[in-house]
Amino acid sequence: MTMISEVNEHLQKVIIPFWKKLRDDEYGGYYGWLDYNLKLDKKAIKGCILNSRITWFFSNAYMTLKDESLLDEAKHGFAFMKKYCMDKENGGIYWSINYDGTPADTIKHTYNQAFAIYALASYYDASGEEEALEMAYDLFDIIEQKCRDEVGYLEAFDKEFKPIDNEKLSENGVIADKTMNTLLHVFEAYTELYRVTNDEAVREKLRWIMDTFAEKVYNPQLHRQEVFFDANMNSILDLHSYGHDIETAWLIDRGVEVLGEEAYARKMYPITKDLTEQIYRVAFDGHSLNNECEKGVVNNSRIWWVQAETVIGFLNGYQHSPLKKEYLKAAESEWEYIKENIWDKRDGSEWFWEVDVNGEPTSKKPIVEPWKCPYHNGRMCLEVIKRNCEV
């Protein structure tokens, strides 16, 4: 079988059935926790990011595969978002919900607002439900009116949108005022919203975000993105996030394609090619991708989402530079690694969260938790099918 046919089969026989079984028909949405031993906690917190991403996934799986059962799953996710995740008094989407639909963590994070837009725009495209698009625009307005300053996008707020410390998206011992990660996923969400609307206000923000990536996030001397920033977008940590760089490369290329402006193609493509080449050169070992490098020290854990984004990123790199056949071979090698090491072949499971450099899941992290969902690996499958390129 070719990689494309294998990935298609994996999507339809492993990933989709697994997430369908996580559906909660009693309280709505999708169950939020399956531990390493495959014990389901039906009363666990349900992350709003989790449910946004699942709604996005089933919407796009439906548009790719044309299976009506997938649209039904997307409708189920949308109904949960609409009824429980949205703050009807103050606006915006909460961080998490209790199993029974009551609010759990009422923090409003820009990152979370963005993923709701991402889901709602795709769900609108899949279903034609105008209400989903109206909700996406409400969140767009909230981000632009309440979640940014003159320098860039702010991070975390209480339920009334008063700024608070960014503990949710700060790592590695720093508390960041602004992050590459939030900027990237606002861009991703706006790309999808623009794709389905051609709205000029959204187009303007896409341009602004790409300018910010080019001028403040991308480090041409180190051939990487900076990750954590102070309030004025000065980098505060020597960190190279390999997974985010390979993901950013193809997401920016997608945004440039959707925007359709030659000036931004000329501006951004050299950057995304540089990011891709650097990741291939310093982080890819011939079959899989290291996690990150902090202050010169490499973390060689193999994280599920990093491996998934590596497949897409190298396929994208090959499509933009067809002479670089090593990228196509790298994508196929990464897929082989995923099949052998990341895919958890136990009955009732999906992908391991993390394996060590020897391919062993020694950390025993959950199979499902608020950040672990079919957004990365499901999207990888959909992108491989749509890109349709092989050695």
- Tens of pLDDT along 33-47? 999 999 999 999 999
The residue to which tokens 């998206």 are assigned? 169
Rg (CA), the chain: 20
> Largest Cα–Cα distance of the chain, in whole Å?
54
The residue to which tokens 């011992």 are assigned? 173
With b meaning 16 or more CB within 10 Å and e meaning fewer, what string describes 193-210?
Answer: bbbbbeeeebbebbeebb
- At 170, the pLDDT band (50, 70, 90 cuts) reads confident
Give the chain's domain count. Answer: 1
Closest CA to 169 of 228, 114, 117: 228
> CA 341 to CA 351: how far, in whole Å?
9
What average pLDDT does the chain have?
A: 97
Cα angle value 121/45/40 (rounded, 5°): 105
- Residue 243 makes CB contacts below 8 A (sequence gap 6+) with 289, 291, 292, 303, 305, 306, 309, 310
Over range 96-102, report the average pLDDT: 97
pLDDT of residue 389: 66
Percent of the chain scored above 70 by pLDDT?
Answer: 99
226: alpha, beta or left? (left if phi > 0; alpha if psi -120 to 50): beta
What is the SS3 assignment for 50?
helix
CA dihedral 155, 160, 163, 169 (to 10 degrees): -30
pLDDT in tens, 206-261: 999 999 999 999 999 999 999 999 999 999 999 999 999 999 999 999 999 999 99
Contact by Cβ (8 Å): 377, 308: yes
Residue 116 lies in domain: 3-387
- The CATH number assigned to the domain holding 231 equals 1.50.10.10
Contact by Cβ (8 Å): 135, 86: yes
> CA 34 to CA 352: how far, in whole Å?
11
18-to-22, 87, 235, 273, 351 alpha-carbon distances in Å: 7, 30, 40, 35, 10
> CA 384 to CA 391: how far, in whole Å?
13
Instruction: For the beta carbon of residue 265, count every other beta carbon within 10 angstroms.
Output: 14
Cα angle value 194/162/179 (rounded, 5°): 55
> CA 69 to CA 59: how far, in whole Å?
10
What is the SS3 assignment for 362?
coil
pLDDT in tens, 125-146: 999 999 999 999 999 999 999 9
**DSSP state, residue 97:** E
What is the SS3 assignment for 181?
helix
pLDDT of residue 391: 47
Contact by Cβ (8 Å): 331, 338: no
> CA 27 to CA 153: how far, in whole Å?
34
Closest CA to 374 of 59, 164, 82: 59
Is residue 390 pLDDT above 80, yes or no? no
pLDDT of residue 243: 98
Sequence length of the chain is 391
The residue to which tokens 């700024």 are assigned? 163
